[in-house]
Structure 1
Amino acid sequence: MVLLQQIAYQHPNKDRLFENLNLAVQTHYKTAIIGNNGSGKSTLLKLIAGKLRPASGQLSVESEPYYVPQQFGQYNDLTIAEALQIAEKLRALNQILQGNVSDENLEILNDDWAIEERCESALRQWQLLELDLEQKLESLSGGQKTKVFLAGISIHQPELILMDEPTNHLDLAGRSLLYDFIRTTSSTLLVVSHDRKLLQLLDTMYELSQSGIRTYGGNYEFYTEQKAIEQQALQSELQHAEKSLKKAKEKERETLERQQKLDSRGKKKQDKAGVARIMMNTMRNNAENSTAKVKSMHSDKIEGLSGDLQQVRSKLSGLDQMQFGFQESGLHKGKVLFKANDLNVSYGKTNLWERPLSIQINSGERIAIHGSNGSGKTSLLKVILGELQPESGSIQRTGSTIVYIDQDYSLIDPSKTVYEQALEFNTTSLLEHEVKIRLNRFLFGQETWDKSCSNLSGGERMRLLLCCLTISTAAPDMLILDEPTNNLDIQNSEILTAAINQYHGTILVVSHDEIFLEQIQIDQRINL
């Protein structure tokens, strides 16, 4: 169905993204492309979709692929029908029904007399019956845009479907519909996703990295088991490399000490024997050359072992290399941080919630806020943060520190460098080298300290923010997270999960990622 041989791609500025990629996707298989942010997953999908051209290599696709994009900005000026490439066919059908039975209209329609029925059925399937096919895409929410392109699958009925992060904008109901479709479809699927629940439904994982594509013949659970085995082997290899390096350094030190003792003993004998000065100089030079030769030999060996050690470390996952150190929140568990009775927010003359809300948030709780798109999740967060005044109801707040983390990690200032951003959170006047040690712990080496925050990926922004929180005076009393995993790859989602599980304050999170919510041990849910 899909065959890639020695595929390479380079950006317009001539930078190579990847090369020598080989991939074979069998008919009716349901497969995933996974990998870290920036590895080229979306680019690879666009190459297969025919949206981009490879720099070199052979690419063969047996049938016309149907592509569900991750970003929709390029379609905003189009109607739904135009974005789905059915506008001409619908127009031809309407003209034929009005009596204009021209050869051109018949050719465009191509005997597809059921196109309108399929459109209505597809919109119903994806809960979009309120939409008009003549609506502009710019008037729709992100979730609605995704559903429109998913509805296009039922309209076009393709054999090969390509999806790029299809759950990013979907609420729980939308995700449930997508999961059901994936379970039941017989089409060939190739999906780029970091949604671990979706990945459980697929047959094969293709992992894209700098070294190429590795195939794992199973779902995401099988993939994680195999990766755990690989990481254990790497840990053993790392320990062996560290031991070898330590041994080599000790050997170098012992050899040099022994050589220096021999040189010193020889010099004393020469002094006693009254060796001529010119002979003394020659012998001293020979001794120095001998010491230098020994030192060079050991330095070469140590340099080689250091390189081996660095290579092994680079293969370890970020989570295995990272070190967390969050301070405790100062509040005792159970203290009331926020309480609202009969709360409601209005937009114009309309109340947001049919029934007013009564909620209480206590220190130490882990709460998830659920609701479909438009149910008022963000509005509730703004009320809790004090950024939005309710129309009705009573509110009680306790003086507490709250950090709000949105899906774009907007607390990171794009005008600052990585190091400058870390200094912004250095309220306890840590010394320069201590700040840099913290940055290293979160995988920001010296080469990144002067990098502009505007050039950081979603995962890098998340890691930098976590680093900054460990640098600040104390942990906040409450962390509010709004769709925190939306723009993260799997590795960075795991890093965020590990960090949250080492934080013992209050968590309030809006997320449709059920696996993430389960792993951070949510103990209470608010359904809007």
Structure 2
Amino acid sequence: MPASITLSRISWSAPDGRPLFSNLDLSFGPERTGLVGRNGVGKTTLLKLVSGEIRPHAGTISVSGSLGILRQSVQVAPEETIADLFGVTAALAVLHRAEAGRATADELAAADWMLPARIAAALGRTGLDAEPHTPLAALSGGQRTRAGLAALVFTEPDFLLLDEPTNNLDRDGRAAVIALMSGWRAGAIIVSHDRELLESVDQIVELTSLGATRHGGNWSHYRERKALELGAAEHDLADAEKRMAEVARKTQATVERQARRDSAGRKTAAKGGIPRILLGGMKERSETTGGDNARLAERRRAAAQEDAKAAREKIEILQPLSVSLPPTGLPTSKIVLKIDGVTAGYRPDEPVICDLSFDVTGPERIAITGANGSGKTTMLALITGELKAWAGTVAVMTGFAMLDQKVGLLDPSASIRDNFRRINPQADENTCRAALARFMFRADAALQTVSTLSGGQLLRAGLACTLGAAPPPLLILDEPTNHLDIDSISAVEAGLGAYDGALIVVSHDETFLENIGITRRLELPGGYVGG
């Protein structure tokens, strides 16, 4: 029997009572499926339901085949090794005893002599060069993700359930995961905002507040088809609204014609000459005609409103972010940043960055890239002054703002509006509200407490507070797209596209870097295990 996953009439609500799924029907076969949708729409929850980690409040889930599950974060104990993650510690110990001549006859009979080769092959498929005895705590977050994925591949499951598998991976790690999934021939459900990874899938399932929609093909096909479907839905909505306006116009014209006829009849009656019995009949016919016209108009209006409602239900209204920002006034010849012969690190005699020199001039857009542990975050700490260089100089020649993944410049306990006024003390209330509105925080939305925001809203709020009033000439971003949904990433891209200052970005998201117009790259060499 082919492997399959079937969800029938599934309903589930969040602990706060907010319904995520209502009578959801969805099925998956042995193909690679990209699961997309806005933050908070229920993508991770759907994986938890399929895996059995949580149970639906109503409906049934049927799984035929084995599951391999990779979660967003891999928690490890200090003594845990790659072999433990693979579940082969005892089997490897048997091989070691056999090689030393200390294995029992039963152990020799059960020994899997191909095990080391199979482990190496699985690690190789994710691009991780490590030994089974390597402690997981000695690996970077990205390397642990690769190890976790390799352990899943090793078990050869019928379905992979992957939750943001390329988060925290460097360029080589992302490439390895994309290559792995491109060659994967079993089932997979992949929650991801990585548009490169989504190009390798067979179909896209989009979760929205309206339910789930399946689109055959990869990310590019999905975008093309969705654009056509949205265009058709918008056309239907425009037609329905046009009919509503036409019904209203015709109804008004009918009422006015009837009013003119009634007025003419009353004037004739006032002059006399029409028998009273005929006047009564005329009045009755006028009232009947007026009532018929009103009922006909109401039926037409109701039909047009129902068509408009049906058209709107096909469209999940996501107002695109279009930003117009005040200019920074940064001259093209202005030296923004100068780093000269810098060496720095955290442990004595173990530098992370050695003898590095580079300048940033004018509104350049620079990507700092390199393998996990090569010193990208260290470089940002040097630029912001959080870390002092052991040797050489770091000079920032202009005002700047730093946005990390957690948007640490915002006070979580304060509202977006209050954060804006604190960060921009020179801005009055009108300037504040206008700036926040440009980033889609209008009216009461600006009064939301920062701690209640989703990841996408948080970064958008950080951009609004940083760029909304008087943007600094230099903006520094550290992995801004991690944990954001694709619509939020598009919103951030739009905001950065309207910024005319200098930009320094640490990101492994090549599509994002291309879309924000990176003009130069600083590739940091090396890297060390544990960085």
Give, in whole Å, the separation in 2 of the partners of 1:461 and 1:56: 33
- Relative to structure 1, the CA distance from residue 8 to residue 493 in structure 2 (aligned partners, 3 Å threshold; closer, same or farther) is same
Give, in whole Å, the separation in 2 of the partners of 1:47 and 1:332: 54
Deviations 1:203-232 (A, max 9, x none): 111111222221111111111111222333
Matches within 5 A, 1:409-424: 409-424=407-422
Residue 192 of structure 2 is matched in structure 1 by 193
Moved more, 156-165 or 494-503: 156-165
Are 1:523 and 2:525 matched, yes or no?
A: no
Residue 487 of structure 2 is matched in structure 1 by 491
Give, in whole Å, the separation in 2 of the partners of 1:37 and 1:459: 7
Are 1:20 and 2:23 matched, yes or no?
A: yes
Residue 204 of structure 2 is matched in structure 1 by 205
Give, in whole Å, the separation in 1 of the partners of 2:307 and 2:327: 38
- Relative to structure 1, the CA distance from residue 341 to residue 480 in structure 2 (aligned partners, 3 Å threshold; closer, same or farther) is same
Matches within 5 A, 1:358-369: 358-369=357-368
Q: CA deviation at 1:101?
A: 4.3
- Relative to structure 1, the CA distance from residue 238 to residue 153 in structure 2 (aligned partners, 3 Å threshold; closer, same or farther) is same
Give, in whole Å, the separation in 2 of the partners of 1:153 and 1:147: 10
Residue 49 of structure 1 is matched in structure 2 by 51
The answer (yes or no) to whether the contact 2:206–2:213 under 8 Å persists in 1 is yes
Residue 454 of structure 2 is matched in structure 1 by 457
Give, in whole Å, the separation in 2 of the partners of 1:140 and 1:33: 28
Residue 272 of structure 1 is matched in structure 2 by none
Q: CA deviation at 1:500?
A: 1.1
Residue 466 of structure 1, aligned match among 448, 463, 466 = 463
CA RMSD of aligned residues (A): 4.2
Residue 374 of structure 1 is matched in structure 2 by 373
Matches within 5 A, 1:285-304: none
Q: CA deviation at 1:349?
A: 2.8
Residue 528 of structure 2 is matched in structure 1 by none
The answer (yes or no) to whether the contact 2:5–2:63 under 8 Å persists in 1 is yes
TM-score (norm 2): 0.80
The answer (yes or no) to whether the contact 1:4–1:57 under 8 Å persists in 2 is no
Give, in whole Å, the separation in 1 of the partners of 2:353 and 2:449: 46
Matches within 5 A, 1:231-250: 231-237=230-236, 239-240=238-239
Matches within 5 A, 1:160-199: 160-199=159-198
Are 1:399 and 2:392 matched, yes or no?
A: no
Identity level (%): 33
Give, in whole Å, the separation in 2 of the partners of 1:68 and 1:59: 20
Matches within 5 A, 1:246-285: none
SS of residue paired to 1:47: helix
- Relative to structure 1, the CA distance from residue 255 to residue 60 in structure 2 (aligned partners, 3 Å threshold; closer, same or farther) is same
SS of residue paired to 1:345: strand
- Relative to structure 1, the CA distance from residue 455 to residue 354 in structure 2 (aligned partners, 3 Å threshold; closer, same or farther) is closer
The residue identity in structure 1 corresponding to 2:469 is: T
Residue 83 of structure 1, aligned match among 64, 73, 85 = 85
- Relative to structure 1, the CA distance from residue 325 to residue 110 in structure 2 (aligned partners, 3 Å threshold; closer, same or farther) is farther
- Relative to structure 1, the CA distance from residue 138 to residue 110 in structure 2 (aligned partners, 3 Å threshold; closer, same or farther) is same
The answer (yes or no) to whether the contact 2:11–2:24 under 8 Å persists in 1 is no
The answer (yes or no) to whether the contact 1:75–1:83 under 8 Å persists in 2 is no
- Relative to structure 1, the CA distance from residue 392 to residue 8 in structure 2 (aligned partners, 3 Å threshold; closer, same or farther) is same
Residue 142 of structure 1 is matched in structure 2 by 141
Deviations 1:163-194 (A, max 9, x none): 11110011011111112212223332221111
Residue 268 of structure 1 is matched in structure 2 by none
- Relative to structure 1, the CA distance from residue 94 to residue 221 in structure 2 (aligned partners, 3 Å threshold; closer, same or farther) is same
5+ long unaligned stretches in structure 1? 266-289
Are 1:506 and 2:502 matched, yes or no?
A: yes
Q: CA deviation at 1:484?
A: 0.7
- Relative to structure 1, the CA distance from residue 348 to residue 149 in structure 2 (aligned partners, 3 Å threshold; closer, same or farther) is closer
SS of residue paired to 2:402: strand
The residue identity in structure 2 corresponding to 1:122 is: A
Aligned length: 503
- Relative to structure 1, the CA distance from residue 327 to residue 390 in structure 2 (aligned partners, 3 Å threshold; closer, same or farther) is same
Residue 312 of structure 2 is matched in structure 1 by 312
Residue 279 of structure 1 is matched in structure 2 by none
- Relative to structure 1, the CA distance from residue 12 to residue 486 in structure 2 (aligned partners, 3 Å threshold; closer, same or farther) is closer
The answer (yes or no) to whether the contact 1:8–1:57 under 8 Å persists in 2 is yes
Q: CA deviation at 1:522?
A: 0.9
The residue identity in structure 2 corresponding to 1:49 is: S
Give, in whole Å, the separation in 2 of the partners of 1:158 and 1:302: 53
SS of residue paired to 2:378: helix
5+ long unaligned stretches in structure 2? 265-289, 525-531
The answer (yes or no) to whether the contact 1:172–1:372 under 8 Å persists in 2 is yes
